[in-house]
Amino acid sequence: MLRLGKREFGEHEPVVMAIVNRTPDSFYDQGSTFRDEPALARVGQAIAEGAAIVDIGGVKAGPGEEVTAEEEARRTVGFVAEVRRRHPEVVISVDTWRHEVAEAVCEAGADLLNDAWGGVDPQLAAVAARYGAGLVCTHAGGAEPRTRPHRVAYEDVMADILRVTQGLAERAVELGVRRDGILIDPGHDFGKNTRHSLEATRRLGEMTATGWPVLVSLSNKDFVGETLDRPVKQRLTGTLAATAVSAWLGARVYRVHEVAETRQVLDMVASIAGHRPPAVARRGLA
């Protein structure tokens, strides 16, 4: 069982996490949800299209202008509070690696801390424990926040992913984070080149076999772009292919830009796997 906020998700229930960037320079939407009203509209649309989680981020993942903890909090805390007021049932996740920001957003109503940089701030898990929030434990290959990989190498990338993410998860449990609120994430593109991310996808079943629920953040990433030689705005087809493979291998949560398209892929895979009946079944009955 996966329990986040007021929601409980069954073993075969795929969960969509919609990305809501509170940044002026995000790689995909170039700041389209930096202002409050477009961002709130994005939240409402994502929920209507089938997202159970919204993931709010105040700092883009890649290099760029410095964003202090104070500025990150300014971009996210009040927004989290307003989303909580408007959508009391949605699971609110915040993408941050800083414990100061984590504390402020949990006070404002966040249910989940998405630590995309692999525990670089060891105090973050303690914040999740103190507030009863969930935690995403990600493999980032030891990279510093907001840096790109450079000639990174692994003897066995999946072995490293398993070692790091399970270690972070067990440490979180020891600190008091609820076991049923912890997810592990292979960290596509984070501390990895394209071949590493492809291998992590191909071998995702090794992660799901651990028993920890697995989150994948595949949406329009560089490993998709390089694999197909496509710019950011032409990566949806490749993203959905990677999503289908991840779903078949047992991933539970999907962090995405395109909610409706992802929801259809996940529903189709679930039906092929026998976990979901067809929405309509008239063929051959008339």
Which residue out of 98, 192, 235, 255 is catalytically annotated? 255
| Distances 206 to 145, 162, 184, 198, 202 between C-alpha atoms, Å | 26, 8, 12, 14, 9
> Mind giving me the DSSP string for 36-58?
HHHHHHHHHHHHHTT-SEEEEES
Question: Has 192 been annotated as catalytic?
Answer: no
| Dist. CA 222–CA 209, nearest whole Å | 27
| Dist. CA 81–CA 163, nearest whole Å | 36
State the Rg of the chain over Cα. 18
Cβ neighbours for 146, distance < 8 A, ≥ 6 positions apart: 59, 60, 61, 62, 63, 64
Task: Supply angle C-alpha 20, 92, 9, rounded to 5.
Answer: 115
Question: Helix or strand or coil: residue 113?
Answer: strand
Contact present, 252 and 15 (Cβ < 8 Å): yes
Which residue out of 75, 221, 235, 252 is catalytically annotated? 221
Among 83, 178, 71, 78, smallest CA distance to 134 is for 178
Active-site residue set? 221, 255
